[in-house]
A and B are shown apart, each in its own frame.
Chain A
Amino acid sequence: GENVEQHPSTLSVQEGDSAVIKCTYSDSASNYFPWYKQELGKRPQLIIDIRSNVGEKKDQRIAVTLNKTAKHFSLHITETQPEDSAVYFCAALGNQFYFGTGTSLTVIP
Chain B
Amino acid sequence: GAVVSQHPSWVICKSGTSVKIECRSLDFQATTMFWYRQFPKQSLMLMATSNEGSKATYEQGVEKDKFLINHASLTLSTLTVTSAHPEDSSFYICSATNAMGGSEKLFFGSGTQLSVL
| Interface-lining segment among B41-49, B62-70, B79-87 | B41-49
CB-CB contacts below 8 Å: A21-54 with B? 32, 34, 36, 41-46, 49
Known: A43-B111, A97-B34, A101-B42. A32 touches B106 (CB 8 A): no
Taking a contact as CB atoms under 8 Å apart, the answer to whether B105 and A46 are in contact is yes
Interface flags, B16-60, vs A, CB<8A=1, else 0? 000000000000000000100000011110100100000000000
The minimal Cβ–Cβ distance linking B82 to chain A, given in whole angstroms, is 25
Number of A interface residues at 8 Å Cβ cutoff, please give it.
Answer: 22
Question: Interface SS of chain A: helix, strand, loop or mixed?
Answer: strand
The minimal Cβ–Cβ distance linking B17 to chain A, given in whole angstroms, is 23
Out of B43, B93, B105, name the residue touching A102 (CB < 8 Å): B43
Taking a contact as CB atoms under 8 Å apart, the answer to whether B104 and A32 are in contact is yes
Nearest A residue (CB) for B91 = A41
Interface residues of B (CB under 8 A from A): 4, 6, 34, 41-44, 46, 49, 91, 93, 104-106, 108-111, 113
